[in-house]
Amino acid sequence: MKWSTLSMHVELTDDGILKITPATDFKGPETIEQAQENIRSLHEKVDDLDKIKGTLAHMPSHYINAEATRHYKLHARMVPTAMIADSFFKRMIGNFMLVLSDPGRPVRLFSDEAEALEWLHQAIAKHEKVKKS
């Protein structure tokens, strides 16, 4: 299942991975209103949020204001998350953000999508095993 919003393209794969890619024509900044619309869109498109087993998110090059960032964090699924940073600057910012926060779920930053997916599948398997115990 695929859909798009003003600021992102989203796909929920058959294996339960929510892939989020920034829209290339959106330059930002991303506001709280857009974050709310993105979360609303997710709830409209996915009939059962438990179908989401993990998240693969490409870090955008546009600015996301603090209020929007908090909204995403508040509504994020508590599932393993792999973030893709395709530049040194994005990796630096991503690592800084990870050090400052405890997301309450496994989160790792990658520069390569294939490596991220490999880790994500392993993390999902561990997460599912813990949920069943």
- Please determine, for residue 21, whether its predicted confidence score (pLDDT) is greater than 80: yes
Task: State which fold the 2-128 domain adopts.
Answer: Transcription Regulator spoIIAA (3.30.750)
Number of alpha carbons in the 13 Å side-chain half-sphere of residue 68: 17
Strand partners, 107: 81
- The pLDDT of residue 91 is 57
pLDDT digit string (tens) for 34-89?
899 999 999 999 999 999 999 998 987 776 778 888 888 888 888 998 989 876 55
The Cα–Cα gap between 90 and 97 comes to: 10
What are the structural domain ranges in the chain?
2-128
The Cα–Cα gap between 115 and 122 comes to: 11
CB 4 within 8 A of CB 23: yes
- Quick one: which of 18, 17, 19, 27 has its CA closest to 6? 27
- The pLDDT of residue 43 is 92
